[in-house]
Chain A
Amino acid sequence: MATEYRVPHEKELETIDVNVNVGPQHPATHGVFRMILTVDGEQVVDLYPVIGYMHRGAEKLSENCDYRQAIGYQDRTEYLGQFNAEFCYVQAVEKLAGIQPPERAEYIRVILTELNRIASHQMFVGAFGTDIGLFGTSFMYSFRDREVIQDLFEAVTGERMMYAYFRPGGVAWDVPEDFRERCREVVAVVRRGIDDIDGLMTENDVIIARCRGLSPVTPEDAINWGLTGPMLRATGLKHDLRRAEPYSIYDRFEFDIPTGTQGDVYDRYLVRVGEMRQSLRIAEQALEQMPEGPIMAEGLKRTLRVPEGEVYVRNETPRGEYGIYLVSKGGDKPYRLKIRSPAFCSLSALKAMSVGTYVADTIINLGSFDIVLGEVDR
């Protein structure tokens, strides 16, 4: 199985390659990912990714649910960028059912989605630092700010993880009255926090020495592998779905698309840190523009019946292009729901990027993918 694709290497002494099993329970695999490394000393000569330990059939389960009930499965699929996934799903349903959500709901969604993107990237920064070997300091730095964001989410939705707050046609209920002030506070705190992370990690010589030039990817390769999101932008391609095909109200905001130059691990990190700042900008602008008004489209039935048809909606989530392919044959349940998850597609490049590097490099390479296993295995 794993030895088929062995890269030939010269042997001077009689040595054997050892299979090292990393995961599914390993501090560096971010969940239950498993990779079987074939190592020649410290060098990785083969890598066989094993996924599926967290397969829960989220797609199939959604097909047995009411359109609104299935929102919760999106939270559990993309459990670090929950709002992003919900956003994509409700957009798909709205598009199919022909519902136009009111302005205020759109703004609330965008603000929460962008803050959630920051929270997800904070998680990445923390875990990435731990992968490189920071003794939890990066984790504590980023979680300090992530906590502030989560407190806000808790105040809005009543949940800290599985929000299920977006609905086809709007949001479940209105935000608290002090939402604007609290958001501004959160933005200020997070902005300071990103500066701290910069000081701790971005200019850290050891991190630069470890990550610069590690498994670089050309834009062509990135496209061939189906890399999206920060992984793609790190190669220098300026492709962001929020800008390329603006969905919702993203055409109303000014923001830059951070890109890298070499597509290496360090660039992926830089792109994510840059994206956090841009998300703050978007959230600030959305806060300025947010109107008063209704938060739910008029005239929706208690049971949402969606006319026949099919739709593919894709969103830019923290990990890249998150797509929902939704087929309806009428009735109150989707006929088929397919999730195109970015981390799953990115993982296809893991072997190619890791073979030939060292064991330690493979770990931070995997860390730079920022995988979410719920979304890989679904």
Chain B
Amino acid sequence: MIADNPWVDGLARMGIIAVAIPLAVIVLTYVERKVLGRLQMRLGPMRVGPYGTLQSVADTIKLLTKEDLRPQTADRWTFELAPFVVVMPVFLAFVTLPFTADLFVRNLELGLFFIVAVSGVSIVGFVMAGWGSDNKYALLGGARAAAQLISYEIPLVMAVLAVAMFGQSLNLVELVEGQGRVPFVVWQPLAFLIFLVAGLAELYRQPFDIPVAESEVVGGPLVEYSGIRWSMFQMAEVANMVLISVLASLLFLGGWNWPLGEEVGAGLQVVLIFVKTSMFILVFMWLRGTLPRLRIDQMMAFCWQVLLPFAFLQIIINGWVLVYGWPDWVLGVLSGMAALAAGYLTYRMAWRAAEPVLPRLHRVGSVP
């Protein structure tokens, strides 16, 4: 407890979150540029401050002072409200996200449900931005965003649900406390993989950056935004990345609990969760530097044909094992086998997409 009065306490904690998220975004933007630079054999930002550390501060100042343009034909309120609709759910989700056993704003009994519920709202923001901008690239991007984010929301929720079934709770603190000796990733590898892939798609980062595809729709819904509103989209993206990473380390890697246990002090717990979260964030950046973009239909096919059936399979396995009260290792083995099968299917899908096709006479060659 920070203060005795629950209202003051809550407000103080919310204040911390409200300051910490933009700070994390500023730091992560710098880290991302450095990591990508490293992957691409260049230095990244080097000019502003030592090793370019002040670059993102300078960028922030630039973005805040830049003119906030709105196209004359844009749908005014839709256009101007869209960034808020995108960014607010992320902040809301952070309200119930525990970083350590005591570091959270409010630990809700239905915390997991709350996070899943509010983060779904941000899709509306993208559609609003795509429609309100009155720009065809934005429209295409908005439609893509709607399709992609809604589709991948489902396997994501299913994976989270599988963990909730196994952990017998929707309370994130309780879920983490259940992972004192063995993290859930051992028992639920399939759910872990699905969560990571679907989370990556929710973040619309490579290889799933289809809604904002730079070389196709030039930023998609973000194309007409500038200054503060654009930076809100950017903040939502990076904060979302933190959210997914923290969630992954809480749900699957034992959060602050594993492998050190509950007894260690809060400081060490923070370090532990920081390391786990950073690992996921770095993996996301690494993927960004090395993977090209999928096509929207390939990606949707992957979601509906591989991820979703396997997410259901995980839930069926969980239900089966839990109802009959079989030991946990059965769950781990079954889920692991299913994960291997999912990996194999994905691999086969990629190669089936690449099966040799016979050259054909082109249909337009014959159209007058």
Contact = CB atoms under 8 A, between A and B. Distances in A.
A7 B363 contact: yes
Contacts of A353: 362
A104 B291 CA distance: 45
Contacts of B357: 212-213, 216, 262, 264
Contacts of B66: none
A21 B136 contact: yes
A136 B361 contact: no
A135 B364 contact: no
A218 B293 contact: no
Interface in B195-218: 206-207, 209-210, 213-218
A129 B158 CA distance: 34
A26 B291 CA distance: 22
Interface stretch (A106-114, A184-192, A203-211, A320-328): A203-211
A230 to B, nearest CB: 16
Interface in A320-378: 351-353, 355-356, 358-361, 363
Nearest to A357: B295
Given A206-B350, A209-B353, A262-B359, 6 more contacts: A5-B368, A20-B137, A205-B351, A212-B357, A216-B359, A352-B362
B216 A360 contact: yes
A266 B295 CA distance: 15
Contact of B218 (A27, A205, A235): A27
B356 A213 contact: yes
A20 B139 CA distance: 10
A212 B357 CA distance: 8
Contact of A217 (B40, B143, B359): B359
6 contacts: A132-B292, A139-B40, A210-B295, A210-B298, A217-B362, A264-B359
Contacts of A132: 215, 292-293
A58 B296 CA distance: 41
A266 B347 CA distance: 18
B289 interface: yes
Interface in A187-239: 200, 204-210, 212-213, 215-221, 224, 235
B216 A363 contact: yes
A133 B215 CA distance: 7
B354 interface: yes
Contacts of B349: 209
Contact of A133 (B292, B351, B359): B292
A130 B350 contact: no
A135 B354 contact: no
Contacts of A18: 136, 139
A209 B356 contact: no
Contacts of B214: 27, 130, 133
Interface of A: 5, 7, 18-21, 26-28, 39, 41-42, 129-137, 139-141, 144, 200, 204-210, 212-213, 215-221, 224, 235, 261-264, 266, 351-353, 355-356, 358-361, 363
Given A129-B292, A360-B216, A261 B356 contact: yes
Contact of A352 (B210, B356, B365): B365
B289 A135 contact: yes
Nearest to B213: A133
Contacts of B359: 216-219, 221, 235, 262-264
A124 to B, nearest CB: 14
Contact of B292 (A41, A207, A218): A207
B106 interface: no
Contacts of A144: 41
B294 interface: yes
Contacts of A139: 40
Contacts of B217: 359
A204 B291 CA distance: 8
Interface residues of B, number: 51
Interface of B: 36, 39-42, 136-137, 139-140, 143-144, 206-207, 209-210, 213-218, 288-298, 347, 349-351, 353-365, 367-368
Contacts of A19: 136
Given A263-B359, A360-B213, A361-B295, A212 B364 contact: no
Nearest to A358: B295
A218 B363 contact: no
Contacts of B293: 132-133, 206, 210, 360
A25 to B, nearest CB: 9
B289 A208 contact: no
B215 A130 contact: yes
A5 B39 CA distance: 45
B149 to A, nearest CB: 16
A206 B296 CA distance: 12
A337 B259 CA distance: 76
Nearest to B219: A27
Given A133-B213, A134-B292, A140 B353 contact: no
The 3 nearest A-B residue pairs measured at CB: A133-B293, A212-B354, A140-B40
A363 B215 contact: yes
Contacts of B354: 208-209, 212-213, 266
A208 B355 CA distance: 9
Contact of B353 (A131, A212, A219, A262): A212
A355 B364 contact: yes
Nearest to A138: B292
A217 B218 CA distance: 29
Contact of A137 (B39, B209, B350, B351): B39
A307 B11 CA distance: 91
Given A28-B216, A352-B365, A210 B292 contact: yes
A293 B297 CA distance: 61
Contacts of B358: 216, 262
A374 B298 CA distance: 35
Q: Which of B290, B364, B367 has the most CB of A within 10 A?
A: B364
A235 B358 CA distance: 11
A129 B40 CA distance: 13
A139 B41 CA distance: 11
Contacts of B294: 206, 209-210
Contacts of B42: 140
B292 A204 contact: yes
Nearest to B294: A206
Q: Which of B41, B356, B359, B360 has the most CB of A within 10 A?
A: B359
